Structure 1
């Protein structure tokens, strides 16, 4: 009798479509997992549809997205591994802290409540959303130049532009405002239960050249877990930017995640 395959739920961040996880889905299926990559609440099924209907995702909050993925997870046959990138990484951390998964991987995760560093590069990368207070309840798109700074700064211009054309979609700006104000809001939606000692293992991943979530931010995130006895580790990828899940080096990151899951018996 074939053993059941462990589910894996992939959660993308802002400005990338769920279909950008396609190569990861194939790799993880070949490795014996049962992977899915659902979109955020109300996200259209294709990149083209998402670009044509930018307001479909407007005003989506961190908790809206977290509850959406929690509901998807509750419908699975067994608790999954949760893998998220950027704001998807923050959501993966929240879900793991709430007990929804057996393990989680947060790749270049957006800053959670308690993280203090705010590098200039991160401020600039967030300006497309944060630069106009009226964007709070809107969806926002990146220009090719903004994508190159926030995602593709470690790539050639040609590769960055190709990724922009293939995967970018309008995204809600509200999570950016929530994360930026997290340390000033008592019940911030960017808060994660970092003290949970009964949760599964967590791997944080950072690219040392990331502008959107600089390495210092991810290292500060790791420190937030110092009061938990649960496994929490950090892996850094030298010279990689925020595009590390979708650029030509994606498989190096994915293979490292698979190795870590195997080491932790997941």
Structure 2
């Protein structure tokens, strides 16, 4: 692997927006520079969660390196914090980052036709909104730039319905100082579960811990149900006993295997295709039908 740190992809509100890019590679000392970096790889644009505040951009890097070893280019994406720029700035930034990756695909060994948007917590929320509005001018600082053509989305424990988070100060800050009860229309507009439609978009994978007290798993269940009703492809992984955050129960080898399997199977989806696959993940990786758990 080769890690490109603090790659600037945009400048907004006086802030250089950066990425950490993890690129699969061979041993350049043995193969030579050109051979070590030859080939194109699928890319995961990962939006690091932070409660929409300032991100610790490298906090999930050790886990994400597992995917670079499996042949993915990883781009860990910085967005503007909500104290500097409230919603939809974070979505604007993530879309710009994806376009930048596509424009520089050759330099970093990226297969531009296989870019997945991903993220955890607030980053997962951002990723789902990017996915939901791909192909439209909505929530886009560069509407003239056209669709992102994302192949899929993977969100870890994402808030999907902000109307359920009225007492969360991070949500208040995201909505420019208004709580969801004070502006329910804005809260719904900023909620991925209220934006699922039958658009021509790639499949979604959700991963959520059953013991998450910060963003309860109902958020992913609500999104999955909305996806089923809209006729979109969505898989839901419930990790038994896992809480909120990167370590230790949620970001493990078993979940990495499931994510890798999902990404490896992604193919163009015909409009109107429908699938809900649910998993209860325990040390034995028990599989079950999550649809029966939907509200």
Alpha-carbon RMSD across the aligned residues, in angstroms, is 3.0
Counterpart Cα distance in 2 of 1:179 and 1:207: 26
**2:96 counterpart residue number:** 71
Give runs of aligned pairs for residues 106-145 of structure 1, distance below 5 A.
106-112=155-161, 118=164, 126=168, 129=170, 136=172
Deviations 1:84-134 (A, max 9, x none): 111111111111122232100111111236xx6x4xxx777x3x547xxxx
Give runs of aligned pairs for residues 1-266 of structure 1, distance below 5 A.
3-15=39-51, 17-41=56-80, 58-77=83-102, 78=112, 80-99=115-134, 100=148, 101-112=150-161, 118=164, 126=168, 129=170, 136=172, 173-175=173-175, 180-181=180-181, 184-185=184-185, 188-191=189-192, 193-243=195-245, 245-247=246-248, 250-252=251-253, 253-265=255-267
Residue 14 of structure 1: how far off its partner (Å): 2.1
- The structure-2 alpha-carbon separation of the partners of 1:63 and 1:234, relative to structure 1 and needing over 3 Å to count, comes to same
Q: Which is greater in Rg? A: 2
Q: What SS is found at the alignment partner of 1:20?
A: coil
- TM-score, structure 2 as length reference: 0.59
Q: Hey, which bits of structure 1, 4+ residues long, moved more than 4 A? A: 175-179
Q: Structure 1: which 5+ residue stretches go unaligned?
A: 44-56, 131-135, 137-172
CA contact (8 A) 2:161 2:219 kept: no
Counterpart Cα distance in 1 of 2:241 and 2:56: 24
- The structure-2 alpha-carbon separation of the partners of 1:129 and 1:200, relative to structure 1 and needing over 3 Å to count, comes to closer
* Higher strand proportion (structure 1 or 2): 2
Aligned residue pairs total 202
Deviations 1:120-154 (A, max 9, x none): xx777x3x547xxxxx5xxxxxxxxxxxxxxxxxx
Residue 212 of structure 1: how far off its partner (Å): 1.1
- TM-score, structure 1 as length reference: 0.65
Q: Structure 2: which 5+ residue stretches go unaligned?
A: 1-34, 103-111, 135-147, 269-295
